[in-house]
Chains A and B, each alone.
Chain A
Amino acid sequence: MQIAELSSAELVARLKHPGIYVRTGPFTIHIQTPLPILAHMLGLLYADFYLEANDGFADFHVRLIPSRNVRCWWCPQVLFFSDGISYFQPLARDLAFPLLEWGLNWCVVRSAHQYLIIHAAVVERDGHVLIFPAPPGSGKSTLCAALVHRGWRLLSDELALVCPTAGYIQPLPRPIALKGASIQVIRDFAPHALIGPEHVNTRKGTIAHVRPPTESIARAEQTAAPAWIVFPSYKTDSPTQLTPSPKARAFMRVADQAFNYSVLGAQGFATMAHLIAACDCFTFTYGDLDAAVTCLTNLERPRCAA
């Protein structure tokens, strides 16, 4: 059963109690909240996600509830709980959905050490995975949103999950977070994309989330082999430039973006080495999104792919 099959009233009621169990990639998430705004956002942006049985088992139990401190009288706030513990400062209640998304990323990064986890957008086409490891502000989510509206499959907008033993990439498709000017760029580039409301005054500026394509959610169990690593850099009016990157340097740049490379120790090194060996690596500067998408879609099948 998918979330879209629930009426708004059913979704609100279930989220309040006992919560919903949602499948996201390899994880089951138990979400509980009395906030109707969050139910509305989940109905909008998680419509295609599959519900699992309410059997009490979940990888992460999260709860978002109104904060009851004195500020709630003039500035209603929301708290994020993971397994019953609140780890973060409360945020304005309007930011409940971004808080859920940040919180879910945090849950994965904190505990899913069965994978090498890289801060990266990840897409796939014809069985080949393209990874964009990059710090915030590099344009990776913009590229990711553009590509998934031009036939690429969304594996993740934020976290590349690399399986240490097999080296494949585990999908974790969830809404794509766009920031600032990128929101309008994607509205213009893909008018059919479903983009949620804009949240202003977050720590990251204005953000909005793109609903993941239905097919990406339907295929969220299908892993794929890494083929390309591209380090993106958006520069206004820059020509599109795709330049091969030496692998040792690429190794260090990807390691810089990995959340748990050090935690995994020798296994992290072996997994990273396998990933780098399997991929052609490039730096990529772009200023025009259409040209960037064309360039990336024309990437040759990697010479070094297994």
Chain B
Amino acid sequence: MNKLHKWRVTAGCDLLWHFWDGEFVVFNTGSGDTHVLDVFSGEVLRSIQQQPASAAEIATYLADTLTLTVEEVPLGRITDVLAEFHMLGLIEPVQ
């Protein structure tokens, strides 16, 4: 997966959110599926929901949000999370 490749929320899907006790609950109106995400995965998805982003751009966003340096944000974990979101139909690559 190219770290510069941009991702967006799958067309036709709205994401509805709740946050409790360090976990996000996300409802995908497109699929009707509900997901529980930890803070890291939830923030990855929130960044893409704000605007299409690449793994590298998400790392910058996470560094700001989680008050880390960009170097401290594990890029490999972001790409793993993106792959899983893609598999779940939550996101799609920007053509």
Contacts and interface: CB of A to CB of B under 8 A. Distances in A.
B34 A252 contact: yes
B56 interface: no
Nearest to B19: A248
Contacts of B24: 248
Interface in B1-41: 14, 16, 18, 20-25, 27, 29, 32, 34, 36
A200 interface: no
Chain B contact surface mostly:
strand
The number of chain B residues touching the other chain, given as a range, is 10 to 19
Contact of B34 (A247, A249, A255, A277): A255
Contact of A246 (B14, B16, B23, B29): B23
A276 B20 contact: yes
B76 to A, nearest CB: 25
B42 to A, nearest CB: 10
Nearest to A270: B16
B86 to A, nearest CB: 22
A262 B32 contact: yes
A269 B34 contact: yes
A266 B29 contact: yes
A273 interface: yes
Contacts of A276: 18, 20
Contact of B23 (A248, A255, A266, A277): A248
A246 B39 CA distance: 14
Contacts, number: 42
Interface residues of A, number: 15
A265 B25 contact: no
A251 interface: yes
B17 to A, nearest CB: 9
A257 to B, nearest CB: 13
A251 B21 contact: no
Q: Which of B16, B23, B29, B34 has its CB near the most chain A CB atoms (within 10 A)?
A: B34
Nearest to A244: B21
Contacts of A270: 16
Contacts of B23: 246-249
Interface in A216-265: 246-249, 251-252, 255, 262, 265
A277 B17 CA distance: 13
B36 A273 contact: no
Nearest to B27: A269
A274 to B, nearest CB: 10
A249 B36 contact: yes
A247 B20 contact: yes
A269 B36 contact: no
Contacts of B18: 248, 251, 273, 276-277
Contacts of A273: 18, 25
Contacts of B14: 266
Interface of B: 14, 16, 18, 20-25, 27, 29, 32, 34, 36
15 contacts: A246-B20, A248-B21, A248-B23, A248-B24, A251-B25, A251-B36, A252-B34, A255-B34, A265-B32, A269-B27, A270-B16, A273-B18, A276-B18, A276-B20, A277-B18
